[in-house]
Amino acid sequence: MAFAPDKPVIVQSDRSILLETDNPAFEDARDCLASFAELVKSPEHIHTYRITPLSLWNAAAAGITAEQVLSGLDRYSKYEVPQNIIAEVRENISRYGRLKLYRPADGPLVLESEDALLVTELLNQKTLQPYITGSPDLKRIFVKPAERGNLKCALIKLGFPVEDLAGYVDGAPLPLHLRGKTLSGRDFGLRKYQKESVDAFHAGGTNQGGSGVIVLPCGAGKTIVAIGTIHLLQTQTLVLTTNTVALRQWKEELLDKTSLTEEQIGEYSGDTKEIRPVTIATYQVLTYRKAKDSPFVHFSLFDEGQWGLIIYDEVHLLPAPVFRATASLQARRRLGLTATLVREDGREEDVFSLIGPKKYDVPWKVLEKQGWIAQALCTEVRVRMPEEDRYRYAIADKRTKFRIASTNPSKAHLCELLIERHKEDNVLVIGQFLDQLKVLSKRFKAPIITGRTPTRERQRLYGDFKTGKIKLLIVSKVANFAIDLPDANVAIQVSGTFGSRQEEAQRLGRIPRPKRDNTIARFYSLVSRESCDQDYSVKRQLFLTEQGYRYEIITEDQV
């Protein structure tokens, strides 16, 4: 291929991909790359992606072929794609499905491959010995049924993702129908992309479906996808979510949009322990134990209901103990919901193996263009630190530096200017440090929600915000996840969790619900200039940049 200077991409032999943002084909190239590569960094002019085995396996699981990946690279690349990249794309994508897990009628669980040498290699892997019982030939390996999940985790670490076709147990039946109108009288039906999500997960009822992750932006209706899936399967369901407020919002949605009654929906939280045909539990209660070395008191919930479906809300936050429990739940259908597959603990491979591969994904900007989520503008405001804080910062250790920069008192004045500018809007001020948030709450005479705020008080404040009785709400990181505040249209982030990409996505996710008056959502991130706060902000912005958002960077003098 001849040199094509008008194209925006350079593919390099170290698996990195450079993308020029100023090129007219930038958006199309970005959407192409996002389907099979991971964004690594995103400064103003050149974005860097990386092709990884996991990114290619997720692409393969979603039905993308090696030829489609290579065709996309060739379409946008200035130079010929390096031969080693071509070979690695073909090799990694071919690995997905080379091992298939299935269960013959009335037979044992079997791992199968057409590659006799691969089977021989696996039989001699010490890490697999606890999970297998032998091999009748060089095509099949017998697997202990209870070790289905552990085997998949071990195999992906060896570089061989398993296509799990072993099927699922049928849970207890749960007849229900979707309402054509909600209880408030609004028309209700699944949007096109929500139906596509349900269909991609279900895969026509074949064993190729039934486990996997749906990736949709905050505000795009992931709960509705779950409701559509419950309706399609008509089976008893366990829903796991992040906190009690989110749990009760799930219950409200189920009552509002399905024929399920109060008596059919159970709450399993710190307050109440109900097991009903649809039971909604929090991760916090599931991971409770009396002492560090004690067993998890409530793990029995996984076996106490005849669940045909388990739904993992905000799957990128799934606690490690729940992974361990999920390893033994591979015979039940599993649906993960998230706005981002990024996990700050690096356990994306465990999500792939234990919940399932990515089944459906829509870029945020696509839904924004279609009007399903509000247009959002992101602004990073760089703030000077007072002289005395700059001195303290200079001599502090790494962790203290972060706190000093994050709680920069100059941010309070800037926050005041932005709140005044948006006094007619519905504003959330979000932060990491409680002392900082309490000062802001007192300064602006605004209510504050933290982890210590009782659930009933949280629900009252969220309700007052929804109705417009409150126009300004101060919230800690407890509001990052699974909280529905549809009328919030301005978020001011005063501090964050180091370089957490998924947190940045979730915080923007508080404001993109479509607005009745089509107003633009505004997301401000206040960052201390020339500090680790600024360095971490670059990392936090990665995911949103990948989704098509650009940060306008201004100084405090420009506010």
Instruction: Kindly report, residue by residue over 344-388, the tens digit of the pLDDT.
Output: 677 889 989 999 999 988 877 778 788 887 777 788 899 999 999
Mean pLDDT of the chain: 87
Could you read off the pLDDT of 2-46 as tens digits, one per residue?
688 999 999 999 999 999 989 999 989 988 998 899 877 766 688
Residue whose C-alpha is closest to residue 163's, from 213, 91, 113: 113
Could you read off the pLDDT of 228-264 as tens digits, one per residue?
999 999 999 999 998 887 898 899 999 999 999 999 9
- Sequence-distant (6+) residues with CB within 8 A of 462 are 245, 449, 483, 485
Q: Which helix (H) or strand (E) holds 312?
A: strand 309-312
Alpha-carbon gap, residue 498 to 518, rounded angstroms: 33
Higher pLDDT, 293 or 540: 293
Q: Could you tell me the sign of the dihedral formed by the alpha carbons of 35, 99, 354, 174, in that order?
A: positive
The fraction of the chain above a pLDDT of 70, given in percent, is 91
Could you read off the pLDDT of 262-287 as tens digits, one per residue?
999 999 988 889 999 999 999 888 88
Could you read off the pLDDT of 451-471 as tens digits, one per residue?
888 888 888 888 888 888 999
Mean pLDDT along residues 486-504: 71
Mean pLDDT along residues 198-211: 93
Residue whose C-alpha is closest to residue 42's, from 559, 558, 555, 543: 543
Alpha-carbon gap, residue 38 to 27, rounded angstroms: 15
Alpha-carbon gap, residue 483 to 479, rounded angstroms: 6
Confidence of residue 320 (pLDDT cuts 50, 70, 90): confident
Mean pLDDT along residues 80-93: 96
Could you read off the pLDDT of 108-141 as tens digits, one per residue?
899 999 999 999 999 999 999 999 998 999 899 9
Residues 9/23, Cβ–Cβ less than 8 Å = no
Which range has the worst mean pLDDT, 25-34, 120-129, 499-508, 533-542? 499-508
Residue whose C-alpha is closest to residue 354's, from 498, 493, 494, 149: 149
How many other CB atoms are found less than 10 A from the CB of residue 289?
13
Residues 355/347, Cβ–Cβ less than 8 Å = no
Confidence of residue 213 (pLDDT cuts 50, 70, 90): very high
Query: What tokens appear for 313 in the block?
Result: 């809300």
Structure confidence at residue 482 (pLDDT): 46
Which contacts (CB < 8 Å, 24+ apart) does range 391-400 have? 393/531, 398/532
Alpha-carbon gap, residue 94 to 112, rounded angstroms: 15
Mean pLDDT along residues 325-329: 86
Structure confidence at residue 499 (pLDDT): 45
How large is the C-alpha radius of gyration of the chain? 24
Structure confidence at residue 258 (pLDDT): 96
Alpha-carbon gap, residue 201 to 79, rounded angstroms: 37
Query: What tokens appear for 269 in the block?
Result: 């939280």
Confidence of residue 546 (pLDDT cuts 50, 70, 90): low
Confidence of residue 290 (pLDDT cuts 50, 70, 90): confident
Residues 277/269, Cβ–Cβ less than 8 Å = no
Environment class of 463 (CB within 10 Å of its CB; exposed 0-12, middle 13-18, buried 19+): exposed
Structure confidence at residue 239 (pLDDT): 96
Helices (H), 175-319: 192-202, 222-233, 244-257, 283-286, 301-304
pTM of the model: 0.78
Alpha-carbon gap, residue 434 to 449, rounded angstroms: 10
The upper half-sphere exposure of residue 30, i.e. CA atoms within 13 Å in the direction of its Cβ, equals 27
- Sequence-distant (6+) residues with CB within 8 A of 269 are 244, 247, 281, 282, 284, 285
How many other CB atoms are found less than 10 A from the CB of residue 484?
18
Q: Is the pLDDT of residue 479 over 70?
A: no
Strands of 118-181, DSSP E: 132-134, 140-143, 162-164
Structure confidence at residue 325 (pLDDT): 84
Mean pLDDT along residues 435-463: 90
Environment class of 390 (CB within 10 Å of its CB; exposed 0-12, middle 13-18, buried 19+): middle
Confidence of residue 485 (pLDDT cuts 50, 70, 90): low
Structure confidence at residue 42 (pLDDT): 66
> What SS3 state is found at 531?
coil
Structure confidence at residue 547 (pLDDT): 60
Residue whose C-alpha is closest to residue 73's, from 29, 40, 31: 29
Length of the chain: 559
Which range has the worst mean pLDDT, 136-140, 188-192, 375-379, 391-395? 375-379
Residues 448/441, Cβ–Cβ less than 8 Å = yes
What one-character DSSP code corresponds to residue 352?
Answer: I
